[in-house]
C-alpha cells in the first residue's frame, strides 16, 4: 500500500511490489497507484468519522440527563399512577444502564423511543434536535395575513385574510410558496415530513412560522402563481388577524370569528377555542340568527383547540337532549365529563363539521362528540389525532420531548388520541380547486345539506 502518495521507485520507474509485464501500458501503474491512494484516504476518512461520532463525557451526561427528564416527567405527569400499566421504576432500572452504554445520540434516541413505545400510547415522542430546531421557529409576531397547507409537498395558500398585506399585494388562493426570507421551503418540508413523529399540525405550523417576522417589517416571499410563474413580493408584516386574547400564562393569542350565509346555510369559522365570552357570544348569535336556515357549517380546519369547556357550551346550541356528553377526559386524580347543556332554543337542522390534519384538541372533542351523538356529519380529512393536552419540551441534549397529560374517550367509547376524527365523507383540498376559486370541502357540505333539505 502507498502511504501519503509517496512510493519508493525502482530503477525502471515502476513502484516496488508490482511486476512490470511486457505489453502492459505504463499508465496502468499510475491508475493503480491512484486507486490505492484513494482507498487509503477513504479508510482514514471513515476512521475520522467514527472518532467524531463518539460521544464526549459531557455529551454522555446530557443524554443521561435527558433520559432522567423523560422518565421523571412520565412518572409525575402521566394520568395513570402506573403509566401504561407498567412498573415504571422497573423501567428505569432496565433502561438507565442501557443509556449509559449508548455510544451515539442516535443510539440514545432509539432507546428513549423504545421506552416510550412500552406505553403503547400516542403523543409520546422524541424529536431529533435537527428537526426540533426546524419546528421551534420564532421569527416574530408579524404576519402577512395568510394561511397555508402542505399539499403534495408544496406550501399552498388556503386563506388570504381580508385587508391583509397579502390581499393588498394580490396573493391568491392556491398560490404555492417557493421561498420566504430567501430560504426555500421545499427542503424544510421534506426534512420535517421524513420524521415519523411529525404530524400534520406540527408540520404546517413550522412552515407557516417561516412566513412571519417582526411587526412593521417586510418579508421577501416568492410564490408560484396559477400559471406556475414565479411572483416575488415584499410583503408587509402586520398584526395577525383577530383580537388578542389572554388565557392563563400563555402569551396573547389573536382570535378571530367569521360568520356568513352560503346557499341558504350558515357558515361559521374561528381559529381557536379561546376568548370565551366573545367567541361563545358570536357563536350563539350566529346560530340563533339562523334557526330556520337549511343547515349549519362549522369549519374547524386549522383550529388547534383551546379551552375544552367551550366545546360543551357550543354543543348546547345543537343538542336538545339533556344528559348527553361529548366524552370523558381522564387525568391524574381527576375525571372530566364533557357534558352537553342544551339551550332553551337549539338549531335542529343538519350540521356539517369540517376538519383536517390541523384540527386538534378541543376541535376533535367537539367534532368527534357530535359525530358520536349522531348530531353532525364530518367532512374533510382525518384530524390531528391530538385530542389530549400535550407539551413539547426541550431536553438537555437538544432533542424535543412530546408527552400527553391526560386521556380522552369519546361518547362512542373510542380514544381520539392516535385515531383522530375520521370524516364521514373524506374530501381533500387540491391546489387546482383553490386556484379555480373552489373549496371542495365546503362544496361537499353544501351539497349534503341541500339533499337533507328536501322539497320546500
Instruction: Confirm whether 80 is domain-assigned.
Output: yes
Residue numbers of the domain that contains 187:
134-236
Instruction: Confirm whether 75 is domain-assigned.
Output: yes
Instruction: Confirm whether 125 is domain-assigned.
Output: no
CA distance 379 to 359: 12
For 189-240, the pLDDT digits (tens) are: 998 888 776 778 888 888 999 999 999 999 999 999 999 999 999 999 999 9
Instruction: Confirm whether 147 is domain-assigned.
Output: yes
Instruction: Confirm whether 183 is domain-assigned.
Output: yes
* Helical spans, DSSP H, in 323-430: 362-372
pLDDT averaged over the chain?
A: 85
Final residue before a domain boundary, out of 120, 155, 171: 120
251 and 231 fall within a common domain:
no
CATH number at residue 66: 3.30.750
Per-residue pLDDT, 250: 72
Phi, psi of 338 (to 5 degrees): -85, 75
8 A C-beta contact, residue 245 and residue 253: yes
CA distance 377 to 356: 14
111 and 142 fall within a common domain:
no
- Reported pTM: 0.78
297 and 427 fall within a common domain:
yes
Instruction: Confirm whether 5 is domain-assigned.
Output: no
232 and 253 fall within a common domain:
no
CATH number at residue 263: 3.90.226.10
CA distance 286 to 290: 7
For 26-70, the pLDDT digits (tens) are: 333 344 334 343 443 333 333 333 334 578 999 999 999 999 999
109 and 139 fall within a common domain:
no
17 — pLDDT class (breaks 50, 70, 90)? very low
211 and 331 fall within a common domain:
no
111 and 194 fall within a common domain:
no
196 and 111 fall within a common domain:
no
CA distance 422 to 102: 40
Residues for the chain: how many in total? 456
Instruction: Confirm whether 21 is domain-assigned.
Output: no
For the residues of 117-131, what is the DSSP string, one character each? HTT--SS-EEE-HHH
Contacts of 296 (CB under 8 A, 6+ apart): 265, 266, 268, 287, 290, 318, 347, 349, 350, 351, 352
CATH number at residue 160: 2.30.42.10
Amino acid at each position: 500500500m502507498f502511504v501519503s502518495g509517496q512510493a519508493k521507485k525502482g530503477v525502471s520507474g515502476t513502484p516496488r511490489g508490482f511486476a512490470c509485464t511486457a505489453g502492459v501500458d505504463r499508465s496502468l501503474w499510475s491508475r493503480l497507484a491512484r486507486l490505492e491512494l484513494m482507498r487509503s484516504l477513504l479508510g482514514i476518512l471513515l476512521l475520522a468519522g467514527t472518532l467524531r461520532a463518539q460521544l464526549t463525557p459531557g455529551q454522555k451526561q446530557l443524554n443521561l440527563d435527558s433520559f432522567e427528564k423523560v422518565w421523571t416527567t412520565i412518572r409525575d405527569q402521566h394520568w395513570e399512577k402506573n403509566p401504561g400499566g407498567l412498573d415504571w421504576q422497573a423501567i428505569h432500572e432496565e433502561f438507565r444502564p442501557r443509556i449509559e452504554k449508548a455510544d451515539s445520540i442516535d443510539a440514545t434516541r432509539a432507546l428513549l423511543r423504545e421506552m416510550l413505545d412500552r406505553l403503547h400510547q400516542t403523543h409520546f415522542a422524541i424529536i431529533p434536535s435537527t428537526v426540533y430546531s426546524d419546528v421551534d421557529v420564532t421569527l416574530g409576531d408579524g404576519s402577512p395575513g395568510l394561511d397555508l397547507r402542505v399539499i403534495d409537498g408544496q406550501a399552498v395558500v388556503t386563506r388570504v385574510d381580508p385587508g391583509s398585506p397579502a390581499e393588498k399585494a394580490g396573493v391568491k388562493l392556491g398560490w404555492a410558496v417557493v421561498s420566504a426570507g430567501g430560504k426555500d421551503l421545499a427542503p424544510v418540508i421534506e426534512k420535517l415530513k421524513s420524521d415519523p413523529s411529525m404530524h400534520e399540525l406540527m408540520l404546517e405550523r413550522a412552515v407557516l412560522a417561516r412566513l412571519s417576522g417582526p411587526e412593521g417589517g417586510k418579508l421577501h416571499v416568492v410564490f408560484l402563481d396559477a400559471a406556475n410563474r414565479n411572483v416575488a413580493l415584499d410583503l408587509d408584516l402586520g398584526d395577525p388577524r383577530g383580537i388578542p386574547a389572554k388565557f392563563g400564562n400563555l402569551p396573547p393569542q389573536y382570535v378571530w370569528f367569521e360568520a356568513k350565509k352560503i346557499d341558504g346555510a350558515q357558515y361559521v369559522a374561528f381559529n381557536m377555542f379561546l376568548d370565551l365570552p366573545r367567541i361563545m357570544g358570536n357563536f350563539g348569535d350566529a346560530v340563533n340568527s339562523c334557526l330556520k336556515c337549511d343547515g349549519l357549517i362549522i369549519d374547524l380546519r386549522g383550529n388547534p383547540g383551546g379551552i375544552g369547556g367551550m366545546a360543551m357550551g357550543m354543543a348546547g346550541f345543537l343538542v336538545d337532549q339533556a344528559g348527553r356528553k361529548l366524552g370523558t377526559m381522564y387525568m391524574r386524580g381527576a375525571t372530566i365529563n364533557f357534558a352537553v347543556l342544551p339551550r332553551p332554543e337549539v338549531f335542529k337542522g343538519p350540521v356539517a363539521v369540517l376538519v383536517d390534519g390541523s384540527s386538534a384538541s378541543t376541535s376533535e372533542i367537539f367534532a368527534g362528540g357530535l359525530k358520536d351523538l349522531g348530531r353532525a356529519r364530518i367532512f374533510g380529512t382525518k384530524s390531528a389525532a391530538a385530542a389530549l393536552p400535550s407539551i413539547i419540551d426541550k431536553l438537555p441534549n437538544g432533542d424535543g420531548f412530546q408527552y400527553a397529560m391526560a386521556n380522552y374517550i369519546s361518547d362512542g367509547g373510542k380514544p381520539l388520541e392516535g385515531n383522530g376524527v375520521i370524516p364521514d365523507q373524506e374530501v381533500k383540498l387540491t391546489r387546482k380547486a383553490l386556484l379555480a376559486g373552489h373549496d371542495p370541502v365546503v362544496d361537499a357540505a353544501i351539497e349534503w345539506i341541500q339533499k337533507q333539505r328536501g322539497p320546500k
